[in-house]
Chains A and B, each alone.
Chain A
Amino acid sequence: MRGFFSQIATVVAMNIMSLPRRLWMSLAAVFAVSVVVAVLLAFLAMAKGFEETLAGTGTESVAIITRTGSQSELNSSMSRDTVNLVSTAPGIAQNAAGDPEYSAELYVIVDGIKRSTQGKANIPMRGISPQGFSLREQVTIVEGRMFEPGRNEIVAGQGVQREFDGFELGREIRFGKTAWEVVGIFSTGGSAFESELWADAPTVQSQFQRGSSFQTVRARLEQPGNVEPIQQFIDNDPQLILDVETEADFFAGQGRALTGIAIFGWILSFVMGLGALAGALNTMYTSVASRIREIATLRAIGFSNSSAFVGTLVESLVLSVIGGIVGALAAWLFFDGFSASTLGASFTQVVFTFELTPELFINGILLALTIGLIGGLFPAWRAARVPVVMAFQGGE
């Protein structure tokens, strides 16, 4: 048995030592695998980052009420009266003073200059009620202070500050004819709200000529997850043409549109993986061909054909794992923590961060191993079947 392992160890070592003889071909195989893995991981990291951002955005304890059929906050609209009416619905939590805890909000789109491209992109600007702040989970002012009602003051999400020019604390910024001062920077622990600017709702209404109309109502639920009483209240009043969902459900629905990215990433890297597989097969067949006399000689000496098989397979796995690690490192260097923004369902930019988790890393290495395994298996089979008489065949 000891003989068996030292045979295999020797053959593996010899194959690895002979790699420089096939340097360029081996490097090409490594490169092909690394590109495939990097591409896969970039897509997965993007999907993961987007998913995390949206998953972190909604909470079960807040209901979001929109006009029926609006699909997104941007398309929704409701009057002051509707807001007042629905805010009295049962199931909405009340504060110490006995008032319902809710925030009537409206949502306008402003332009910002992206740091990366210096091009214009949309930023959602949200007018919120004083209670709106406390309705977000994990929200904190990390710099400066909260806006004051009635003034042209905004607080900017960290994501906005990261991605766009001009949102440093104290800066004045103009949207159309209106001028605003950045008085604070807020964090929501990485959720999509960080891609927003927040200001006082009545001020936004007046500065953007929205009259007294709102788009959504956010309300704290008496019982987290239970929107049923509000739903019944809406159903019983024909004047109210509204939908109610928990915020968690609302954002999960929006995030799902982007899970296609991960699937696309897998499909793309599968197709590219076939190319890398062809490269690996070619490399390994060449490797076997160049070692035929060595393999046959070892067999003549008494080495088993499984040592030739394992040696070839391990060579292939080593090459592909190197490729996988290089690709994963490249993806990590270039993409991990890379901030990107994409169109959310409401046609505004959701800022999110690529997240290369260890789990994704393992996915990349597994893909590389699969390419190496399949790419090595058939050549290894050929290596195992090299006739021993080849040792006696002439020619250098």
Chain B
Amino acid sequence: MSDDILFDLKGVSKQFVKGKETITIFDGLDMSIARGDFLAIMGPSGSGKTTLLNMLGGVDQPTSGEIHFDGKRVDTLSETQLAAWRANNIGFIFQFYNLMPMLNAHRNVELPLLLTNLGKGHRKKSVAAALELVSLSDRAKHMPKEMSGGQQQRVAIARALVSDPKLLLCDEPTGDLDRQTADEILEMLQLLNREYGKTIVMVTHDAEAAKYARRTLHLDKGEFVEKDLAA
């Protein structure tokens, strides 16, 4: 196995049981994600994009198959181990930002650092740097409801970044934003990928958004179909 591989999925299957019905979303999916990649995953609604992202993030488990991260198997970890693994390796960016409404921007960004042993001073510096990166230094004391959607998403990006994870997982990060704001966010993600070496997996149904990625995978009926971006 190459050192360049960050994620390796082997024969991953995922089924949901709904009453008597069993829905198969994935059946023996193989895929790998290279270190430093910016991967867009597209596909029709209900094709399993979020489910895949959840499995990558250790938030949901495959029914069978293996998921390796950095050469280590992660799908067999316990809930507690997974929480620690997520805290160390993954930053999440959600469609609806998922900021804590009663915390200001600074405190929201600080959340992942509360899981580390960093002292107050260090945390403050890291939060300031993350807010700087998303150009929101002047909004540190603002509450989420005092900010626009784009600003809230930038706070969420700062939160995802602050503990310096290797991987950013984004579920429709621009799904709730207008074109111009979406482009700003996507440029920011691109910058994080190119300048800061973050590996990014982004689920989107927006072809424009996918253009910012290095490559795009199309998910259909649980299978990937690689398409030419120019097409």
CA distance A302 to B88 in the complex (A): 8
A301-B86, A301-B92 given; A391·B98 CB < 8 A? yes
Residues of B55-73 contacting chain A, CB below 8 A: 57, 59-60
Across the interface, name the chain A residue whose C-beta is closest to B110.
Answer: A10
Is A297 touching B98 in the complex (CB atoms < 8 A)? yes
The reply on A142 being an interface residue by CB < 8 A is: no
CB proximity of A143 to chain B, nearest CB, Å: 62
Given A18-B102, A389-B54, A396-B96, CB of A301 within 8 Å of CB of B111: yes
A3-B114, A14-B100, A394-B95 known; A302 and B86 CB under 8 Å? yes
A394 contacts B114, C-beta separation under 8 Å: no
Contact A10 B114, CB 8 Å, known A297-B98, A300-B86, A301-B87: yes
Known: A3-B115, A10-B114, A14-B102. A303 touches B96 (CB 8 A): no
Task: Please name the residue on chain A nearest to B57 by beta carbon.
Answer: A300
Task: Give bound CA distance, A21 to B87, whole Å.
Answer: 29
- Shortest CB-to-CB span from A133 to chain B, Å, is 69
* Residue B46 CB within 8 A of the other chain: no
Q: Could you tell me the distance between the alpha carbons of A299 and B111 in the complex, rounded to whole angstroms?
A: 11
**Beta-carbon contact of A391 and B83 below 8 Å:** no
A158 proximal to B (CB < 8 A) = no
B203's nearest neighbour on chain A, judged by CB, is A392
Chain B residues within 8 Å of A213, by CB: none
Q: In whole angstroms, how far apart are the Cα atoms of A299 and B17 in the complex? A: 24
Task: Decide if A97 is an interface residue (CB 8 Å cutoff).
Answer: no
Beta-carbon contact of B111 and A10 below 8 Å: yes
- Residue A207 is within 8 A (CB to CB) of chain B in the complex: no
Beyond A14-B102, A293-B98, is A391–B92 a contact (Cβ under 8 Å)? yes
* B94 CB contact (under 8 Å) in A2, A302, A304, A391: A391
**Known contacts A389-B60, A392-B94, A394-B96; is-contact A305 B171 (Cβ 8 Å):** no
Q: Tell me the count of chain B residues lying within 8 A, CB to CB, of chain A.
A: 30
> Shortest CB–CB separation between residue A354 and chain B, in angstroms?
42
On whether the beta carbons of B94 and A297 are closer than 8 Å, the reply is yes
Complex alpha-carbon distance, A18 and B103, angstroms: 10
For residue A6, CB closer than 8 A to chain B, the reply is yes
In the assembled complex, B180 has its CB within 8 A of some CB on chain A: no
Chain A residues contacting B59 (CB-CB under 8 Å) are: 300, 388-389, 391-392
Bound CA–CA A7/B117 (angstroms): 12
> A residues within 8 A CB of B102?
14, 17-18, 21
Question: Measured between alpha carbons, how far is A274 from B59 in the docked complex, in Å?
Answer: 38
Q: Is the CB of A302 within 8 A of B98?
A: no
Which residues of A are found within 8 Å of B95, using beta-carbon distances? Answer: 392, 394
Complex interface: chain B residues within 8 A of A389 (CB) = 54, 59-60
List residues of chain B with CB within 8 A of the CB of A395. 96
Number of interface residues of A (CB under 8 A): 27
Does B22 count as interface, using CB distance less than 8 angstroms?
no
Residues of B within 8 A of A14 (CB): 100, 102-103
Alpha-carbon distance A7/B111, docked complex (angstroms):
8
A168 proximal to B (CB < 8 A) = no
Contacting residue for B117 out of A3, A10, A21, CB 8 A: A3
B23, chain A: closest CB distance, angstroms: 15
Considering the chains assembled together, what is the distance between the CA atoms of A394 and B171 in angstroms?
Answer: 10
Q: Is the CB of A302 within 8 A of B112?
A: yes
CB A298 to nearest CB in B, in angstroms, measures: 7
Give the shortest distance, in Å, between A308 (CB) and chain B (any CB).
11
Give B73-126 interface residues, CB cut-off 8 Å to A. 79-80, 83-84, 86-88, 92, 94-96, 98, 100-103, 111-112, 114-117
| Cβ distance B119 to chain A, nearest Cβ, rounded Å | 9
Asked whether B50 is an interface residue with its Cβ less than 8 Å from the other chain, the reply is yes
Q: Quick check: is B12 within 8 A (CB to CB) of the other chain?
A: no
Are B114 and A6 within 8 A (Cβ)? yes
Does A304 lie within 8 Å of B54, measured CB to CB?
Answer: no
Inter-chain CA distance A21–B84, complex, in Å, is 31
List residues of chain A with CB within 8 A of the CB of B88.
302
Q: Which of A293-333 contact B (CB under 8 A)?
A: 293-294, 297-305
Chain A 342-376, CB-CB to B under 8 Å as 1, else 0, gives 00000000000000000000000000000000000
B189 within 8 A of A: no
Cα(A253)–Cα(B60), bound, Å = 69
CA distance A303 to B113 in the complex (A): 11
Interface residue? B53 (CB, 8 A): yes
Give the docked Cα–Cα distance between A173 and B106 (Å): 78
Chain B residues near A302: list those with CB within 8 A. 83-84, 86-88, 112, 115
Q: B115 to A301, Cβ gap below 8 A?
A: yes
- Which residue of A has the minimal Cβ distance to B160? A301
What's the Cα separation between A296 and B92 when bound, in Å? Answer: 12
What's the minimum C-beta distance from B214 to chain A, rounded to whole angstroms?
23
**4 tightest A-B CB contacts, nearest first:** A302-B87, A17-B102, A297-B98, A388-B59
Known: A293-B98, A391-B92, A392-B94. 19 other contacts (CB 8 A): A3-B115, A6-B114, A14-B100, A17-B102, A21-B101, A21-B102, A297-B92, A298-B100, A299-B83, A301-B92, A301-B115, A302-B88, A302-B115, A303-B83, A303-B111, A304-B83, A305-B79, A392-B50, A392-B59
Binding site for A on B (CB under 8 A): 50, 53-54, 57, 59-60, 79-80, 83-84, 86-88, 92, 94-96, 98, 100-103, 111-112, 114-117, 159, 171
State the A residues within 8 Å of B (CB).
2-3, 6-7, 10, 14, 17-18, 21, 293-294, 297-305, 388-389, 391-392, 394-396
Q: Sample 15 A-B pairs with CB under 8 A, ordered by A number.
A: A6-B114, A17-B102, A21-B101, A294-B98, A301-B87, A301-B92, A302-B84, A302-B88, A302-B115, A304-B80, A391-B59, A391-B92, A391-B98, A392-B53, A394-B95
